[in-house]
Amino acid sequence: MIGGIRRSVDHLRKQQRILGSGSRVFTLGSSIGSDSSMIAANDRCKILPSTTTSTVRNISTTFVDSKIYKEKSNSIVNHLSRSFSTDDSMDDEYGEMTADGHTYVHPVPFELENGEMLENAQLRYMTYGTLNEAKDNVIVVCHALTGNASLHSWWGDLLGPGQAFDTDKYFIVCANILGSCYGSTGPASAKDDSEDGEKYGMDFPDVSVQDSVKLQLHMLQDDLQVKSIKCVIGGSFGGMQTVEFAAQAGLIDSPFAVDDSAGRAAPFVRSVLPIACGSAHTAWQIAMSEVQRQAIYMDPKWNDGNPSLDDPPMKGLSVARQIGMISYRTPEGYESKFSRNTRTPEPKYGHKASWEVKSYLEYQGYKFLSRFDPITYLKLTEQMDTHDVGRGRGGEAKALSNVKIPALVLGIDSDILYPLQEQKDLAKLFPNGELAIIKSNAGHDGFLLEQDQVAAHITTFLASHD
């Protein structure tokens, strides 16, 4: 616990050094959450004047703000957090976050892969550093399933002057993915044609990873006027987006291709670094997503597919999160942290069992309710399941065979959700691909927890392709 607070204070001090580094800057509040190892919920980013042509809106999170659920979940979280010893090694690395930054609104109806049209599709994004005169010092960072655009709150050790994401050298862009609940258009957003603010809910259309990346590409070229992207980087769901960036904009014959200084066609994206993902979502990963969705479906408040947005199936979401937290780590990690430890001197068994690991999972599940929406969770896990770089492109090998840009694929040796073999296979699909391995006992969450290793690989890769 103390270690988590100390890390958050260190992050806050680091952000104070970052603030003056670009034309798009932010300031942070001073509140530090006691249960997060990252910058926490009460931090607010205040937008200062910038050169953006998009509408800048200071908005809060758009997911359901149920006072009853938040009060109840916070009470349970406080109780459960006293039931086991907590430290950075098993915490929820995202903590609680808010949506602040810049907003891009697509100027025309956005056509989805399935043919549906999404009116006024918007992306919430944040930038760090300064865009150079050539507008080509850009690094795009893609977040994971429940993350958002506040890069400083989950990869903060990588961000700042002299760090992997060097704000003195690079212009870093991180957008909240389409369909999420941190400011981008999603199930918790008001319908475009609604006069009374009715939200999409389950009516939100099915969005694919291809759709999400295409909208980000439009934002980068149309709103930020970026001429070329040095590198796209992301882990987990962010890694899937990174692979898709390569397929859509790492080619010279892409609709997003640009002209180089000699007037020759060049890829808009010059390199990619996907972490802890594969070329397509496998049956194992779809199954893991499906059992989490089933937890939400089993909640009585699912209401046969017509959940109320004012009283959604939050208990189901809590269980879904607990399932996810198991898959993100390893048996060894759970055993070394909890073993057969109990909360009471005399262990209780049966349904009143007092295992520390039980309290930990309940703690993570209830804590999650303060920052996420169950319908958004359903839609985003479904979006992850669409990940298949070969769909509509003649298969995975053909899809990446002409992507000649440098690609570094990072895998985690203990990842049970996205096993290392998938990164080995993905690296081979890139004509100019290579593999590097993060050594960790943290499992899939190693891309968040092993920030020193991740930073070292990113720094070396970026330097070798300047």
Confidence of residue 70 (pLDDT cuts 50, 70, 90): low
Give CA separation, 328 vs 87, 92, 375, in Å. 16, 10, 21
Q: Output the pLDDT for position 256.
A: 97
Q: Determine whether 444 is an active site residue.
A: yes
Contact 187, 137 (CB under 8 A): no
pLDDT tens column, 157-213? 999 999 999 999 999 999 999 999 999 999 999 998 788 889 999 999 999 999 999
Higher pLDDT, 65 or 302: 302
List the single range of 238-247, 251-260, 430-439 with lowest mean pLDDT. Answer: 251-260
Nearest to 343 by CA among 329, 331, 361, 330: 361
Q: Which amino acid is at 4?
A: G
Nearest to 250 by CA among 234, 231, 263, 237: 231
Q: Output the pLDDT for position 188.
A: 94
Confidence of residue 247 (pLDDT cuts 50, 70, 90): very high
This prediction's pTM? 0.83
pLDDT tens column, 18-43? 433 333 332 222 222 222 322 222 23
Would you call 128 helix, strand, or coil by DSSP?
A: strand
Q: Report the share of the chain in percent with pLDDT over 70.
A: 79
Q: Determine whether 37 is an active site residue.
A: no
Among residues 152, 281, 444, 457, which one is catalytic?
A: 444
List the single range of 8-17, 53-62, 197-206, 258-267 with lowest mean pLDDT. Answer: 53-62
Please check the confidence at residue 445 and state whether its pLDDT lies above 60.
Answer: yes
Confidence of residue 84 (pLDDT cuts 50, 70, 90): low
CA distance 296 to 312: 9
Q: Output the pLDDT for position 71.
A: 57
Among residues 35, 91, 415, 445, which one is catalytic?
A: 415
Q: Output the pLDDT for position 92.
A: 54
Q: Determine whether 387 is an active site residue.
A: no
Among residues 66, 236, 370, 440, which one is catalytic?
A: 236
